[in-house]
Homo-oligomer: A and B are copies of this chain.
Amino acid sequence: MDTARPQVLIVGGGFGGLAAARALKHAPVDVTVLDRENYHLFQPLLYQAATAELSETDVAMSLRELLSGHRNTRVLTGEVSGVDLDRRCVTTDLGDVHYDFLVLATGAEPNYNGRDEWESRAPSPKSLAATLEIRRRVITALEIADGIENALERRLLLEFVVVGGGPTGVELAGALADGRQQLTKVFRRIEPSHVRIRLVNSQRRVLPSFPEDLSKKAAAQLERRGVILHLGRRVTAIDDAGVSLDDGSRLEAGTVIWTAGVRPTPLARSLPGEHPHGRVAVGPDLSLPGHPEVFAIGDMAHFEQNGAPLPAVSPVAMQQGRAVARFVMRTLQKRPREPFHYFDKGSMAQIGHYHAIAQIGRLHVSGIVAWFMWGVVHLYYLSGLRNRIAVMFSWTWLFLTHRRSTPIVTRTQHPLALHGRG
């Protein structure tokens, strides 16, 4: 690369970082995308990988492949240990990486509200590793339940609890409920009615970020699918045999999945300035105070619009990624940066097969029409032709055969079954 060209370093290959890199494709700069993993993760569909509807290669795309058409862009796989704002470099396990412009887009991680010890007992479908661990636990629970004689243990293995009633929790509970029909076909001794799926949410309704009428429809759809809702309840303890709620009740469960909130990665807190909810506050041009050459975007950044912080969702990250690319170019052209403004196109969630809800401005849609829109939008935003074909194939196969693609798990014993086996 021409070292005379400005060096733009993008940390994080998620929606924000990737959008920034793409928008800089033809800019007169050298771009480096640095991520600890070598792939971009399509997080909106991760829950389908957790429930064996999609395979991991459907939802993860090689960053190098995605950016291979960018002549000015380099991908580095490395772990960031710190940012030196004065020396303008990022310290990584590959050595120091210098920058002229820095785009921080490291996203968020599951938030266990100070109870990090719950993570191993209740993984969260936020990373690929945790997602595959959830799939392993779900399938292994069915495998063992199909094989063992001990009725008590069997019942425990077939109890699933999803904590959190946001889009991920609702989509996951719906996918598990649909999977109950499909997966029990191949587990001869498990009837769908043996499997119980519960959803716990601290708020009094599911999908609280959606309008109330859509929340109600989503809740009704979940209940129609047999999901038992525990609303207005907080989890106070998670142990080997289940979860305890703040009303003193107890839900036995072999498998617990956590979707109750995220927090920014620790890097956000190490940056100067204010940190509302752990996110780093940025200016109207998404830059750090006093550092117009350093931007923070997406889930790690705090940006207020109309008096409220923007939500930690992928459209915000993508629009901010494109905005910082524009700000970099404007700076090089010595033109002023216009303030960032988020344009909300709406939001949607799938409750299960043939049913989704969607809000687009004042328009509220639910049912099969919303479900179809949901599919089209997700295929559209999925990166790479190959993955689009693969996901479309997986979905088509599922709807034609009612068989999930990949209930393949490598053998590791289910933690619960250790005392029951051997």
Q: Please list the residues of chain A having a beta carbon within 8 angstroms of any beta carbon in chain B.
A: 36-39, 55-57, 60-62, 64-65, 68, 74-79, 81, 93-95, 128-129, 139, 143-144, 146-149, 185-188, 386, 389-390, 393, 397, 401, 403, 405-411, 421-422
The residue of chain B having its C-beta at the shortest distance from the C-beta of A384 within the complex is B403
Kindly identify which residue among B95, B148, B185 contacts A94, using a CB–CB cutoff of 8 Å.
B148
B409 near A95: Cβ-Cβ < 8 Å: no
List chain B residues, Cβ under 8 A from A401: 386
Can you list 5 A-B contacts with CB-CB less than 8 angstroms, sorted by A residue number? Answer: A38-B408, A60-B408, A62-B407, A78-B421, A390-B393
**Shortest CB–CB separation between residue A122 and chain B, in angstroms?**
20
**Closest Cβ neighbor of A413 among chain B residues:** B93
> In the complex, are the beta carbons of B386 and A397 less than 8 A apart?
yes
**CB-CB < 8 A to A60: which residues of B?**
408
Residues of B within 8 A of A411 (CB): 36-38, 77, 79
Q: What is the minimal beta-carbon distance from A138 to any residue of chain B, in angstroms?
A: 12
A408 CB contact (under 8 Å) in B56, B406, B409? B56
Of B55, B75, B129, B139, which is within 8 A of A55 by CB? B55
B148 and A403 contacting across the interface, CB-CB below 8 Å: no
Per the bound structure, the CA–CA distance linking A266 and B353 in Å amounts to: 46
Residues of chain B within 8 A (CB-CB) of A95 are 148-149
In the assembled complex, the Cα of A186 lies from the Cα of B389 at a distance in Å of 21
Q: Which chain B residue has the least Cβ–Cβ distance from A147?
A: B94
Q: How far, in Å, is A34 (CB) from chain B's closest CB?
A: 9
Least CB distance from A124 to B in Å reads 16
Distance A147 CA – B149 CA, assembled complex (angstroms): 53
| Sample of 11 more A-B contacts, CB < 8 Å, known A68-B186, A77-B144 | A38-B408, A57-B408, A60-B408, A62-B186, A62-B407, A65-B403, A65-B407, A68-B185, A77-B147, A94-B421, A95-B149
Closest Cβ–Cβ distance, residue A79 to chain B (whole Å): 8
In the bound assembly, the distance between CA atoms of A188 and B144 in angstroms comes to 47
Residues on B with beta carbons closer than 8 Å to the beta carbon of A408: 38-39, 56-57, 60-62
Q: Is B38's CB under 8 angstroms from A74's CB?
A: no
Chain B residue at smallest Cβ distance from A422? B93
A71's nearest neighbour on chain B, judged by CB, is B188
Shortest distance in angstroms between A97's beta carbon and chain B's nearest beta carbon? 10
Please, how many angstroms separate the alpha-carbon atoms of A322 and B406 in the complex? 27
Residues of B within 8 Å of A94, CB to CB, are 147-148, 421
Q: Are A37 and B410 also in contact (CB < 8 A) when A68-B186, A93-B421, A393-B393 are?
A: yes
Q: Give CA–CA (A409, B37) in the complex, Å.
A: 7
Contacts of A188 in B (CB 8 A): 74
Q: Shortest 4 CB-CB distances between A and B: which pairs?
A: A64-B186, A93-B422, A93-B421, A77-B143
Residues of chain B lying within 8 A (CB to CB) of residue A55: 55, 57
Q: Known: A389-B393, A393-B389. Contact between A147 and B78, CB under 8 A?
A: yes
Using CB atoms, name the residue of chain B closest to A36: B411
Complex-state Cα separation, A185 to B128, whole angstroms: 25
Bound state CA distance, A117 and B386, in angstroms?
Answer: 40
Question: Which residues on the B side are within 8 Å of A405 (C-beta)?
Answer: 57, 386
* Contacting pair A38 B68 (CB below 8 A): no
Q: Which residues of B contact A403 (CB under 8 A)?
A: 65, 386
A278 to B390 CA separation, bound complex (whole angstroms): 43
- Are the CB atoms of B186 and A65 closer together than 8 Å? yes
- Per the bound structure, the CA–CA distance linking A188 and B65 in Å amounts to 11
A385 to nearest B CB, angstroms? 9
Contacts known (A65-B403, A94-B421, A186-B62); A409 close to B38, Cβ less than 8 A: yes
Q: Which B residues touch A75, using CB under 8 A?
A: 186
Closest to A412 in B: B129
Chain B residues within 8 Å of A186, by CB: 62, 64-65, 68, 75
For residue A68, which residue of chain B has the nearest CB? B186
A409 to B38, CA, bound (A): 7
